[in-house]
Structure 1
Amino acid sequence: MSNLNGAYYGPSIPPPSKSYHRHGRGSSCNPCSCLFGCLCNCIFQIIFTILIVLGVIALVLWLVLRPNKVNFYVTDATLTQFDYSTTNNTLYYDLALNMTIRNPNKRIGIYYDSIEARGMYQGQRFASQNLERFYQGHKNTSYLHPVFKGQNLVLLGDREKTNYNNEKNLGIYEMEMKLYMRIRLKIGWIKTHKIKPKIECDFKVPLESSGRSVNFDVTRCHLDW
């Protein structure tokens, strides 16, 4: 075999292959985020449990007590004076009312700690009176006797004055009485905190005059908690 002159070029040697190691993507938990998530979950479970317990307690109390709405009525009204002077915008009035409060509940008593009665005419207050406090027992009917007598400044617009003149000609006036109360409920030996209900009574009362029979329709009042 003859000798080969010059350099010999054999097949190229491939470069060494680079191997890449891909780390696994397993879930890892940051201690702070894990602690926060567990804390939120515990708080949610506690709140949910408390709501369930309160709901069960409320249901049991309702089944045991069976609370019923207290009813307020204006049973009678006597109006002997109701004169409005356009000269000095003064209303002269003499109004006496009889009211009943019916507590139909068997296990709930009511402390009436304060009662303010307000006489209203066409949205304007013309008189107020503070009534005596009292306690009302179970399935009991109590009586109130607010009396409004005197004179007071009442500003009526043209439309209200027209309404007054129309009612004066008819001899029947549309009025409203509001009761502002602070009460407490007594359930066994437990007394609740003070509640402030508002009672609104809309009624029509005829003006008494000599030789004229006067009838009054019993009016049920609206209770707003």
Structure 2
Amino acid sequence: MSGKQPELNGAFYGPAIQPAKSYERPGRGGGCGGCCGCLFSLILKLILSVVIIVGIAVFLVWLIVRPNVVKFHVTDATLTQFNYTGNTLHYDLALNVSVRNPNKRVGIYYDRIEARALYHDARFDTELPSPFYQGHKSTNVISTVFKGQQVLPLTADQTSLFKKDNATRVYPIHVKMYLRVRFKLGLLKTMTLKPKVSCDLQVPLQGTAGVFQTTKCDYDH
């Protein structure tokens, strides 16, 4: 008997075991996901840094400049005519408005000045005084004349008020100024701002016993 063992085929032992194959899971969202997230984060940080730097710069400028409010006063008002007949108002009003810039380092460009005159909320004239530049710690005078005639249909209440004012010869006239200004600090200039100034006046007709009193104007918000 031969000692050689017979070869056993696969039918006995079963199929040969193959090594397991490794599979890579595809990344979610493709290859852009991580890069896009990093780019967005970087842009957000840059914007935040710029905002913080600008905020600090504005705060430092404010600490250095300490801007004070520009002051407006009507120092003189001369009313030589104010008659209302046949729904038409005839008027002649001259005003001097003192503008005081109390700031040591800030100049002001008055690029546009629009002055409106109203009587009991009814506007009867609009004038455009000349633009100008105002230097540091200086005072300028805006002079304007409202003169002419205007069809002005007054309500019954306004007509009644006019009769009372006509009896005293002192007329409540409201002057509103719409401004377009820029501030200058050294070589820097700000963007255009649009403040509104309101002046409530009691103006006596010239030739009467009344005397006009200097009146402070306020800012409208």
TM-score normalised by the chain length of structure 1: 0.78
Give the Cα separation in 2 of the matches to 1:123 and 1:34. Answer: 64
Q: Can you list the C-alpha shifts for 1:13-32, whole angstroms capped at 9, x where unaligned?
A: xxxxxxxxxxxxxxx86544
Match of 1:108 in 2: 106
Q: What is the one-letter code of the residue matched to 2:73?
A: Y
Deviation at 1:48, TM superposition (A): 1.6
Match of 2:37 in 1: 37
What SS does the corresponding residue of 1:55 show, helix, strand or coil? Answer: helix
Q: Can you list the C-alpha shifts for 1:142-192, whole angstroms capped at 9, x where unaligned?
A: 112211122111121111111211222232211111222232222112233
Give the Cα separation in 1 of the matches to 2:201 and 2:129. Answer: 20
Contact 2:170 2:210 in 1 (8 A): no
Give the Cα separation in 1 of the matches to 2:43 and 2:153. Answer: 58
Give the Cα separation in 2 of the matches to 1:135 and 1:60. Answer: 25
Give the Cα separation in 1 of the matches to 2:114 and 2:32. Answer: 59
What SS does the corresponding residue of 1:146 show, helix, strand or coil? Answer: strand
Give the Cα separation in 1 of the matches to 2:154 and 2:141. Answer: 33
Give the Cα separation in 2 of the matches to 1:180 and 1:36. Answer: 49
Unaligned segments of structure 1, at least 5 residues: 1-27
What RMSD over aligned residues (CA atoms) do the two structures have, in Å?
2.0
Match of 2:192 in 1: 194
Give the Cα separation in 1 of the matches to 2:131 and 2:54. Answer: 33
1:217 aligns with 2:216: no
TM-score normalised by the chain length of structure 2: 0.79
Give the Cα separation in 2 of the matches to 1:68 and 1:52. Answer: 25
Match of 1:79 in 2: 79
Q: Can you list the C-alpha shifts for 1:50-104, whole angstroms capped at 9, x where unaligned?
A: 111111001111011111111111112122221111x2x1001111112100001
Match of 1:171 in 2: 169
Give the Cα separation in 2 of the matches to 1:73 and 1:143. Answer: 9
What is the percent sequence identity of the aligned residues? 44
Give the Cα separation in 2 of the matches to 1:113 and 1:36. Answer: 47
Count of residues in Structure 1 that have an aligned counterpart in Structure 2 = 194
